[in-house]
Structure 1
Amino acid sequence: MWKVLICDSDLSFSEELKRKSLAIAEEGVQGVKLFRGKADLEQYVSAHPDEANMVFLEVELEGGFGIEAGKKVLQMQPDSQLIFISAKDTYYQEVYEVDHVYLLKKPFEDECLKQAVRRAEKKLDQATRREFVIANKQGVQKVPLERILYFEKEKRRIHVHTTEGVVTYYGKFEEMDPQVDRRFLRCHNSYVVNITRVQSMNAKKFLFEDGREIPISKSYYAEIKSAYMNYLNGDF
């Protein structure tokens, strides 16, 4: 289940879009929230980092800052699917600097909206099925990738640090590759970090919001810095 977020300066248009998107998406939607400004949308997304949402976003928002808002959304919620909305041709080139599933032109046709929703649904379904399978003495469990903060290696054991706690199993970092994606980067011989969950980094370490610190080895620093900067710029 996921939410539909609609951010458009025209409230009547947002209400119409809400009604039509709900009719198309049906049971997949947990709720719909409307926003009229960039700050309100970003504040909500920041407070719900574990969500994967379908986000309708006006390109011309606050003088063209809809594209910047889209970058922010993907930084905080990488699995969200953006559907840009535009009444003009002004920002068409800039839109393609941000990963999105569709660009709706106002006034949109119902068939175009249906295509946009279906594309977003497909990607959301793929995203919510991305899980890391852990087998240990307690049994087998699946952990959604977006909930994993980092992996820590201790001899033959790997500790999976998640938003809910720590799960341990026996294994090697090299065996993880088929199950993880590009957001997980090795920054140290003993650590693989989900860079979408860290708050900041410096020359020596990653810092998380709760105060945890993960070291960055010199041999990994240049690659890690480049990847993290790309992520912050919305190019990851």
Structure 2
Amino acid sequence: MLRIALCDDEQEARDCLRFQLEKTMYEGDEEIVYEFTSGETALRWLKKHPGEIDLLFLDVEMKDLNGMKTAEEIRKFDKELLIVFVTGYSEYVFDGYRTGALDYVLKPAEEEQIRHILSRAREYFFMKRERNFVFRNQDGTFRMPLDKILYFYSDRRQIGVVTEMEEYFFYGKLSEVEEKTDGHFVRIHQRYLVNGDRVEYIGHDQVEICGKELPISRGMKDTAVAKLAECMLKGIR
């Protein structure tokens, strides 16, 4: 599913864009899930919900924090979010590409322009979807790039997802998580599944990832160390 958000401080502009999007989206597989009325509210929400939005239509000419500044702040914590700038002035277009924008829309949005942008977004997510891990908890649905995840661990019935920035939890089994990840994730313990590409050191009975030491179980040691060494030496990714 392609999850879309709109950010514009004018209700009429959001309604116009929504109308064009709804004519073009794939029913049942694409959805406008959030509307933000300012750059500040978008930033606060996106920081707390990484991966929950795939595509953001961001108005350039907003009061207080404008669209360009908002995009620059987003890129400090999220490099993956697709951003499309919405503007009434073509001179802003080239500035948008400094923040890795997918495209831009000139107001008022036209159906053909929206159709082209959604087509590009679909192609992008088709190519990268196998490199993501999707999970759901009480805060919503998260699509997390696998290369951002340091390791998973089990704690009773919950799974912890550890990144450099934050830690997330959802109910599940580590064995099921292992099946959904690629060959770069290595089971080192009954409780731990680590990203082999992020391991910095392999010791006698532990590994180190971003300064955190995790135990290697005796029963899994030989297989785990061999796989981890392969990741470290060959740089598979």
Q: Specify every segment of 5 or more residues in structure 2 that has no aligned partner in the other structure, as ranges.
A: 133-145, 152-174, 185-193
| Counterpart for residue 97 of structure 1 | 98
2:159 is matched with which residue? Answer: none
- Equivalent residue, structure 2, for 1:50: 51
| Cα deviations by residue, 1:114-141 (Å, 9 ceiling, x for unpaired) | 111111222233333215599xxx7963
3-state DSSP of counterpart to 1:141: helix
Aligned to 2:172: none
Contact 2:16–2:109 (CA under 8 A) maintained in structure 1: no
Structure 1 residues 48-95: Cα deviation after superposition (integer angstroms, max 9, x where no partner) = 023342000011122672012112223333221111111013423321
Moved over 6 A (4+): 165-168
Partner residue, 2:181: 143
- 2:4 aligns to what? 4
TM-score (norm 2): 0.59
Q: How far apart in 2 are the matches of 1:64 and 1:90?
A: 19
Residue in structure 2 matched with residue 39 of structure 1 by the alignment = 40
Report the Cα distance in structure 1 between the residues aligned to 2:199 and 2:72, rounded to whole angstroms: 26
Instruction: Tell me whether 1:155 sits opposite 2:155 in the alignment.
Output: no
Normalised to the residue count of structure 1, the TM-score between the two structures is 0.59
Distance 1:166 1:8, change over 3 A: farther
Aligned-partner Cα distance in 2 for 1:125–1:166? 36
- Kept after mapping to 2: 8 A contact 1:52/1:77: no
Structure 1 contact 160–166 (Cα < 8 Å) conserved: no
Q: 8 Å contact 1:64–1:91 — kept in the other structure?
A: no
The Cα shift of 1:25 comes to 2.6
Does the Cα contact within 8 Å between 2:8 and 2:59 map onto a contact in 1? yes
Distance 1:176 1:22 in 2: 46
State the partner residue of 2:157.
none
Closer/same/farther in 2, CA of residues 47 and 33 from structure 1, 3 Å limit: same
Q: 1:67 to 1:152 in 2, by over 3 A?
A: same
1:71 has 2:72 as partner: yes
Distance (whole Å) between structure 1 residues aligned to residue 74 and residue 18 of structure 2: 19
CA distance in 2, matches of 1:48, 1:60: 25
**Count of residue pairs brought into register by the alignment:** 172
Deviation at 1:150, TM superposition (A): 4.7
Of stretches 169-178 and 44-53 in structure 1, the one that deviates more from structure 2 is 169-178
Q: By how many angstroms is 1:20 displaced?
A: 2.7
Q: Deviations over 1:216-235 (max 9, x none)?
A: xxxxxxxxxxxxxxxxxxxx
The SS at the match of 1:107 is coil
2:113 is matched with which residue?
Answer: 112
Q: What is the match of residue 25 of structure 1?
A: 25
Asked which structure has the greater CA Rg, the reply is 2
What is the aligned-residue RMSD (CA, Å)? Answer: 3.7
Q: CA deviation at 1:158?
A: 5.5
Aligned to 2:191: none
More displaced stretch, 83-92 vs 26-35: 26-35
- The 1:17/1:142 distance shift into structure 2, 3 A limit, reads same
Give the whole-Å Cα distance in 2 for the aligned partners of 1:75 and 1:119: 24
Matched, 1:178 2:216: no
